[in-house]
Amino acid sequence: MANLTAVILAAGKGTRMKSKLPKVLHKVGGHPMLEHVMDAAEAAGCRNNVVVIGHGADLVRELVGNRAQIALQAEQLGTGHAVLQAADTLRDFTGTVMILCGDTPLLEAEELRKFYEAHVKSGASATVMSAMMEDPFGYGRILRDEKGDVAGIVEEKDAAPEQKKIKEINTGNYCVEAPLLFEVLKTLGNDNAQGEYYLTDVLAKLRGMGKKVGGVVSADSEMIMGVNSRRQLAVAESVMNRRILGRLMDEGVTIMDPASTFIEKSVKIAPDTVIYPFTWLQGETAIGEDSEIGPNVRMKNVKTEKGCRVQFAYVCDCEVKKGAEPRPFVQYSPAFVLENE
């Protein structure tokens, strides 16, 4: 979609992660969180995307490579300030800017596509993706008017007691028309509890200009989960693994015990293969049909042909030929080719 571009916010330090690694580079499902977000944006039809970097800029820039343009937020002054850093890069862009957070690895392309389509259909100048949460603590609350349009968003630290009871929360994902987005961003102030330039204030300013601001409720509250701590990282990992295993089972793979099986997003497994408990499959591993993997197996970047049997082994950067059965309790060296004996 030539009239849709994404601005992905990836400048934050992630203090609660207590890590020297930038937050968006922590892995979920074997891949950095930011990579998942870029994948979803591209699959949803976003083109000429911009990633806003800041903390650990060189490391994040290395991951992004040539997949997106880079905008640097040298000083982290809030989400509104972060998006504004993309203004120069997108100065000639006329269309919809989809604003996403680089720490939301569970976002899926289909949900983003529906979000964009709802935005276009509504004719709104801006649309926010929201979600219903039983425990909305910590999230910005969606304020709606009598017509159901979004009247504004109030952050947790700025919310009045009655507003804190609202269960509809801001996911941090937006569709906003450009160049209007950047014109409004330049007018933001930072008179709030955090002393930051809030992206949410753009919506209130658009309302004040008589522009329509819409809201689309996400059907999946898990999908919009942001990762700010190691505990949340573990939750996201669990959700991602459950999704991956579910997809594989739907494609004809038998997984004997999903609770003890861990398979990364990039792994491919052909139908009629059985995965036994305590199996961990990583990287570019590809398993041929009618194979049996596990129990107690770790495989990384391994290609296996049809009908292989692997158990009680660590196999890395190897090739397993048709019908081969690697010996158990052996670690196989990289580039080793296991033949059918």
* Helix spans in the chain (H): 33-43, 57-64, 79-84, 109-122, 180-185, 201-208, 230-250
Q: Which of 16, 91, 230, 327 is catalytic?
A: 16
Q: Is 105 left (phi over 0), alpha (psi -120 to 50) or beta?
A: alpha
- For β-strands 337-338 and 313-316, DSSP reports them as unpaired
Which of 149, 129, 154, 145 minimizes the C-alpha distance to 219? 129
Cα 261 to Cα 221: distance, rounded to the nearest angstrom:
24
- For β-strands 126-132 and 69-72, DSSP reports them as unpaired
Alpha-carbon distances, residue 105 vs 12, 187, 267 (angstroms): 15, 31, 17
Active site residue 16: yes
Active site residues: 16
